[in-house]
Structure 1
Amino acid sequence: MLHHKVFGTGQPLVILHGLFGMLDNWKTLARQWAENYQVILVDLPNHGRSPHVDEFSYAGMADAVVELIEHLELPPVYLMGHSMGGKAAMQLALDRNDLVAKLIVVDMAPRQYRRGHDDVFSALQAFDPAEVSDRKEAARLMAAYVSDPGIQLFLLKNLARNPAGGYQWRMNLPVITAQYENLIGPVGNFGDSFTGPALFLRGGRSGYVRDEDLDYIHDLFPAATLATVEGAGHWVHAERPEELSSLVTNFLAT
């Protein structure tokens, strides 16, 4: 069963994080939305405190979230995902229309992407977590590949104390690395569709969702609307949380 945390009561809102992330990335916004909804934050497979699995695909992620939804005996949920979590949310909505009342996708399209994380993989593989003395040393070793302190901090949230001594990665880095091509691949097949309300949010400074992606989005999600959060890059929820919160709240309320 996927590790998860529940905040508040009401209509359930399930939130799926992005690649190298975990449910804690959404905790601040979850507490805000929990004033009106039951917010369920989820660690996706091979991330956070959820089980490590050998097969890592969007179909597998969607099935794991379906298992959680059914275990919690939830009515049709509001489902939101960012980046990798956005594709997992899209796959779930396409596979199981009956479980999703509304869909929100943050800065992700259903299309094929080019490789874009090789520097991150190099940074994560630059040291053995069991041999570093603290996070400062890990950040210093990462810096040759990822110089942005914010990205270093984001990645180092995955570094956990090993009961046997030293540190270890919470995420299943070997499987994520080996099956990365699955993550940049498309979701959806010809004839698939989710006809319920869908909101696609993109960062104005991010290139993840292009104007030309709209045709394919509407093929799969005919009721989808697109909103742009100006000034935000790919991490819309971290860079412009108030704007994102307002757009999501308005969408869910209508």
Structure 2
Amino acid sequence: MRLNVVAMGEGPPVVLLHGLLGAAQNFGAIQKAIAARGHRVLALDLRNHGQSPHADGMGYATMAEDVAETLVAEGAWPAAVIGHSMGGKVAMALALAKPAGVERLLVADIAPVTYPTPVFTRYVAAMQAIPLRDGLTRRDADAALAEAVPEAPLRAFLLQNLIFTESPPRWRIGLAAIAAGMGEIGGWPAMPGRYGGPVLVLSGDASAYVKPEHHAAIRALFPAARFASMAAGHWLHAENPRAFLAAVEEFLSVA
């Protein structure tokens, strides 16, 4: 599947892969900053997200194949790949399946492990329960999510996927396919091979997604992995963009 691409800048390619229920646009300021430092930066909408096509299946091998097909078509192969959360798992799957296409890999706040039922399962169910009727306003939709999603900024993040300019409003994302694939998204498939290139696993110091006990599983697949943390929760690039960008710049500059 060819994915939607937002590209800017010139130079060695850098690829940005967003997390669950996000989109390429979430990297806006980060993408501009990396591009300004001499890189061609491609932010992708993963399948069922943003403006990319909708299709059944949210397995990481499938999503990694989407990314590979898109990057080859864009002439951005090989590339440095940066992925956050679900996008980090896609990036890891891509590096394992097609190591020649990944020059280096930055994984933001996720590990190649199966997580307990993700809290996002509750969010997706709440999104599906919003009655998409004529006259539905953003305030109405926000109120419908409030019990399941108490944090107002997170509700705003989720509602960026709802198109209110149409009557009735509709989801931009493939919400049904995402809901059906939540088990795959929270899991991690058994994948053969190892990736020996440079890998940075960057975690938020207030996040519990990458735990010390995950390090062995990471190094089993990525023997050159190194670990770093920064002042942030799970959404590193949104919560502390300056520190995230500094880590990215350093990682990209290391020979």
TM range (shorter): over 0.9
Q: Contact 1:124/1:142 (CA < 8 Å) preserved in 2?
A: yes
The equivalent residue for 1:253 is 253
Q: Secondary structure at the match of 1:34?
A: helix
Q: Secondary structure at the match of 2:53?
A: coil
The equivalent residue for 1:8 is 9
Q: Deviations over 1:29-72 (max 9, x none)?
A: 00000012100000000011100001221111100001111101
Q: Secondary structure at the match of 2:71?
A: helix
The equivalent residue for 2:40 is 38
Rounded Cα–Cα distance in structure 1 between residues aligned with 2:181 and 2:76: 31
The equivalent residue for 2:93 is 91
Q: Contact 1:81/1:104 (CA < 8 Å) preserved in 2?
A: yes
Deviation at 1:188, TM superposition (A): 4.5
The equivalent residue for 2:131 is 128
Rounded Cα–Cα distance in structure 2 between residues aligned with 1:125 and 1:156: 12
From the superposition, tell whether residues 11 and 187 of structure 1 become closer, same or farther in structure 2 (CA, over 3 Å).
Answer: farther
Provide the aligned length of Structure 1 versus Structure 2. Answer: 251
TM-score using structure 2 length: 0.95
The equivalent residue for 2:209 is 208
TM-score using structure 1 length: 0.95
Q: Deviations over 1:145-194 (max 9, x none)?
A: 1110010000000011464x2211111111111121011111443x5210
Q: Contact 1:80/1:89 (CA < 8 Å) preserved in 2?
A: yes
The question of 1:27 aligning with 2:37 is answered no
Counterpart residue type for residue 124 of structure 1? M
The equivalent residue for 2:61 is 59
Q: Contact 1:104/1:199 (CA < 8 Å) preserved in 2?
A: yes
Q: Contact 1:16/1:86 (CA < 8 Å) preserved in 2?
A: yes
Q: Runs in 1 of length 4+ with deviation above 6 angstroms?
A: none
Counterpart residue type for residue 72 of structure 2? E
Give the root-mean-square deviation of aligned CA atoms.
Answer: 1.3
Counterpart residue type for residue 5 of structure 1? V
The question of 1:154 aligning with 2:157 is answered yes
Rounded Cα–Cα distance in structure 2 between residues aligned with 1:238 and 1:109: 19
